[in-house]
Amino acid sequence: MPKIKTHSGAKKRFKLSKSGKVIRSHANMRHFLNGHGKSAKYKRNMRGTCAADKTNVVHVKRMIPYK
């Protein structure tokens, strides 16, 4: 069997935790720091990473087979 190619966009955006969960960063983070009505609580909660939804895990793991 030939090797499976890794999706170049997915390898930059996702990683796997030790327990097998897919870790992703939050959306809407590109230019919301300019003070356009976003509260400090919103910015603080968006700072870290979170786990991807279980409906997307199978597709993401297929795109990053060797991570």
Where are the domains positioned within the chain?
Answer: 8-63
pLDDT at 21: 95
Which is nearest to 49 in space by CA: 15, 18, 19? 15
Span 3-29, average pLDDT: 93
Tell me the average pLDDT of the chain: 90
Question: How does pLDDT run across 37-58, given as a tens digit for each residue?
Answer: 788 888 888 889 999 999 999 9
Let me know: does 14 contact 52? Beta carbons within 8 Å: yes
Tokens of 6: 């890794």
Architecture in CATH of 8-63: Irregular (4.10)
Residues 1 and 38: their CA atoms lie apart, in Å, by 50
Tokens of 49: 């990473």
Beta partners for 15? 23
